[in-house]
Amino acid sequence: MDIQEEEIVNLNKSKGNIFALIPLGVFLLIYLAGSIIANDFYKIPVGVAFLVSAIAALTMNRKKAFEEKLETFCKGVGKVDIILMLLIFVLAGAFAQVAKDMGAVDSTVNLGLSILPANIMVVGIFIIACFISLSIGTSVGTIVALTPVAVSIAEKLGSPIGLVVAAVVGGAMFGDNLSMISDTTIAASRTQGSEMKDKFRCNFKLALLAAVISVVILFMLGGKGNALLDTEYTYNIIKIVPYILVLSGALLGGNVMVVLTFGTIVAGTIGIFTGSFDIWGFVSSVSTGMLNMGELIIITILVSGTVEVIKANGGIDFIINFIKSKIKSKMGAKLGVAALVSIVDICTANNTVAIVMSGPIAKEVGDEYEIEPKKMASILDIFSCVFQGIIPYGAQLLMAAGIAGISSFEIMQFLFYPYILGVIALIAIIIKKF
């Protein structure tokens, strides 16, 4: 290829190719159409939809040999950030499962419930949910653990069930957005090349402000209950230690893989000495936790490879150029990425998938407009979690509504935290404080 031909190729690549985005269209068609037809957004496995999308990507661009396209796919999967992300997923899954099996979740919940007076119980439920989700890194797990308790408390206090359950969901999304072992935090940080502690510090000030405002509102609406909660909650303070160690280690700047490994060992040791399980039970918990991350790992592999093929075909360039045509500043770039990840989450009903899909584009935009990786990672995590926490067909609201025996819409009207967080983040971007 001579210099003139090379220049033409580079020019065409820079302009991008809208047809390279067909695999994403294939994914959305299969996932959304199938979900709508089945009237269930979780009827079509996300992994299957992405597998078809990956196949579509590999069949495009007949000018390239299949082996070359497959190599491009594998290069996307084999990037350092992707491999590190997968390893962290594995370790996070192991820690979460071991901590759960040895009783850390139950002890944390019961400790909070045992020390809170009835007149601030709704606020207390929100705070407990914040701490649990921050500790275990999963909003769904927090909702499953706390919603039955929330329903019982609502009945005893005479408060609307939707209000108390919404407090659980809001607190769950707080931790989902911030936790060092949350899928979204890991994905957002790794795709942007940001340290998780830096992303946490950048994100925390906005999340804390939203949480404080939510506490005030929840107290005003739910602080009138005066019923006595006669249930006796049992807990073992030592079982909370692994969560404290992991949170402290991560915040102090420790390597997240080392911190998670140490936390898993400590949780396992406590579980053995307290009789929660024996050494073989500990090993089994580690294995179960690792395997529980299997679907997420598969999805990440498929998305990473597919995005790399789309990028090679000019699809990412097209999106970037489109975004750039609509924005002329850092503020516009941030708002554009916020809109992108929000739309993807609305379409996929999965905030981790939304981040993994939007991450490469956000990285390109961030580099173009010289936006700090920690800020771009925070934008991805915040807005994906905001919409994941409020869409009525998302796993969080569906799970909460199902356990509580109410409609998702009964919960949505009280979801103060995600609404407030979204507004605060938008204001911070507009006034250039974020």
- What's the pLDDT tens digit per position in 225-277? 544 455 667 788 898 888 788 777 766 767 778 888 998 999 999 999 999 99
d(CA 179, CA 173): 10
How many structural domains is the chain composed of? 1
- Three-class HEC string of 331-382: HHHHHHHHHHHHHHHHHHCCHHHHHHHHHHHHHHHHHHCCCCHHHHHHHHHH
Tell me which residue of 356, 406, 364, 361 sits closest to 381, measured CA to CA. 356
Q: How many helices (H) and strands (E) does the chain have?
A: 23, 0
d(CA 284, CA 312): 42
Q: Is residue 153 part of a domain?
A: yes
Q: What local confidence, expressed as pLDDT, does residue 230 receive?
A: 56
Alpha carbon of residue 169 to chain centroid: 14
Q: Is residue 206 part of a domain?
A: yes
Tell me which residue of 358, 392, 385, 353 sits closest to 206, measured CA to CA. 385
Q: Is residue 299 part of a domain?
A: no
d(CA 88, CA 431): 35
Tell me which residue of 314, 18, 324 sits closest to 340, measured CA to CA. 324
Alpha carbon of residue 49 to chain centroid: 20
* Inter-residue contact 41 to 349 (CB < 8 Å): yes
Q: Is residue 269 part of a domain?
A: yes
Ranges of the chain whose pLDDT falls below 70: 1-15, 41-42, 112-113, 117-119, 222-232, 250-251, 253, 347-349, 393
Residue 339: how many other CB atoms lie within 10 Å: 13
Q: What local confidence, expressed as pLDDT, does residue 79 receive?
A: 81
Here the tokens at position 71 are 């190599």
Q: What local confidence, expressed as pLDDT, does residue 418 receive?
A: 95
Q: Is residue 180 part of a domain?
A: yes
Which residue segment(s) compose the domain that 221 sits in?
82-292
- Region of residue 253 (left: phi > 0; alpha: psi -120 to 50; beta: else): left
Here the tokens at position 19 are 């047809």
Here the tokens at position 357 are 């899909």
Q: What local confidence, expressed as pLDDT, does residue 167 receive?
A: 93
Residue 261 buriedness (CB in 10 A; 0-12 / 13-18 / 19+)? middle
Structure letter (DSSP) for residue 232:
P
Q: Is residue 86 part of a domain?
A: yes
Q: What local confidence, expressed as pLDDT, does residue 201 receive?
A: 87
Q: Is residue 303 part of a domain?
A: no
Q: Is residue 330 part of a domain?
A: no
d(CA 232, CA 343): 45
Q: What local confidence, expressed as pLDDT, does residue 118 receive?
A: 63
